[in-house]
Structure 1
Amino acid sequence: MGRRFRGESHHKVDAKGRVSIPASFRRVLEAGDPNWKPGETPELVIVYGDHRRAYLECYTMQAIDDVDARIDALPRGSMQRKMLQRMFHGQSFPTNVDETGRLVLPAKLRNKIGLQGEAFFIAAGDTFQIWNPATYETEELAKTEAWLDELPDDFDPLIYLDGVAPDGSGAE
């Protein structure tokens, strides 16, 4: 597994849909693009999905290749494969970072998540998400806060890692 995205930030979105990508995210995109060379711009894939998805999920080329390999391993004609192909192949937008470190988000993608004026970026391991800041606050952050409020005050989330091997097998 390559480098991971980490952190969160707010960035202005101009009238043409251009938004700067956090510098640390650009380094991960470069590392995750096997065709990238210094002086060039890295490629990525933005998955926007169906009406239930209120954010854009950005994949490095290595991360999307991993997803594609997993989809290809499913039985042809299965509903799972069809659904995943629709989301990751059909409801996605291949693009690249421009020379100034920005993404140009088409109107279709901006309209889908109600993006105007400002975007909220948040890391999600081998992907990062772009949200309308208000939607993130009212939907995603609210869910997390509600979940945390149900836990004891001295709860340590690291307990979830107990018994999980680095390869995800469940055995240490």
Structure 2
Amino acid sequence: MGRRFRGESHHKVDSKGRVSIPASFRRVLEASDPNWQPGDAPELVIVYGDHRRQYLECYTMEAIEEVDAKIAALPRGSKGRKILERIFNGQSLPTTVDETGRLVLPAKLRQKIDLDKEAFFIASGDTFQIWKPETYEEVEMAEAEKLMDELPDDFDPLEFLDGAGGA
């Protein structure tokens, strides 16, 4: 397992769709790109998915290769493989970080998530997500609060790790 993304931040999006990636996220992209060398632009894959997905999910090269390997292990022609290939191969965009640490988000992707002048970045382990800030607040935060409200007040989230395996 490679380095993990951590944290969240807001960044301005210019009229050409350029948005700075948090510096700590860039370090993870570099460390998780087997072809990256100092001075090179790290590669990543942005998965935008279908109409139900309201955010862009950015995969490191290591993370997307892991997903690709799992998809390839599914029976050719199976429903699961077809769906996953459509999402991760068809509804995705391979890209790089530019020399100033920015992503250029094409108009199609900005329009898909209704992104205008500001983007919200949030870490999700070996991926990170880009949201329209208002959508994140309305959708994702509401869902997280709903899930937490179902738990007792003294619940320790680390209990989810019990029995998860590992060291």
Which TM-score applies when normalising by structure 2? 0.99
Alignment of 1:75 onto 2:72: no
Task: Compute the RMSD of aligned alpha carbons.
Answer: 0.7
Partner Cα distance (1:127, 1:81) in 2: 21
| Sequence identity percentage | 76
Alignment of 1:89 onto 2:79: no
Amino acid at match of 1:101: G
Partner Cα distance (1:100, 1:78) in 2: 42
Q: 2:58: which partner in 1?
A: 58
CA-to-aligned-CA distance 1:22-63 (integer Å, 9 cap, x gap):
000000000010000001110000000000100000000010
Q: 1:154: which partner in 2?
A: 154
CA-to-aligned-CA distance 1:91-146 (integer Å, 9 cap, x gap):
00000000000000000000000000000000000000000000000000111011
Cα shift at 1:163: 1.2
Q: 2:21: which partner in 1?
A: 21
Q: Secondary structure at the match of 2:25?
A: helix
Q: 2:30: which partner in 1?
A: 30
Q: Secondary structure at the match of 1:64?
A: helix
Q: 2:117: which partner in 1?
A: 117
Q: Secondary structure at the match of 2:122?
A: strand
Partner Cα distance (1:134, 1:143) in 2: 14
Cα shift at 1:152: 1.3
5+ long unaligned stretches in structure 2: none
Alignment of 1:47 onto 2:50: no
Q: 1:169: which partner in 2?
A: none
Q: 2:105: which partner in 1?
A: 105
Cα shift at 1:150: 2.0
5+ long unaligned stretches in structure 1: 167-171
Alignment of 1:3 onto 2:3: yes
Cα shift at 1:10: 0.2
Q: Secondary structure at the match of 1:67?
A: helix
Cα shift at 1:157: 0.7
Runs of 4+ with deviation above 4 angstroms: none
Which TM-score applies when normalising by structure 1? 0.96
